[in-house]
Amino acid sequence: MAVLEVGDSDFEEKVLKSEKPVLVDFWAPWCMPCLMVSPIVEELSGTFEGQANFVKMNVDDSPQIASRLGIRSIPTLMIFKSGECVETMVGASPKEYLQSKLENAIGKKDEENGE
């Protein structure tokens, strides 16, 4: 599954209104740690295909959303579920850490449905 590029104009539709959890990778092309995280996000998008959506947002091209969400350093990865941020990870994180955070976000949906 491909990681979609989103901007200020389609963030609400692609992320906040998504029926699935969405991992958002806030990045910039000049950011070396961002470039290290990118292949991990690509790999996880395949692992979680059908369970979650994955998008990237270039903070230089789309500063409004990043500013509104208080993004101060990149890479910042956020997981949104039902329009709310449920997880924020700042800096380059290992794949296992990101995977466990995604599993938690997806698992929370099952718990809510079970109540």
Rounded to an integer, what distance in angstroms lies between the CA atom of residue 50 and that of residue 55? 14
Give Cα separations from 96 to 4, 8, 47, 73, 101 (angstroms). 22, 29, 12, 21, 9
Q: Which helix (H) or strand (E) holds 68?
A: helix 63-68
Hey, which residues are catalytic here? 31, 34
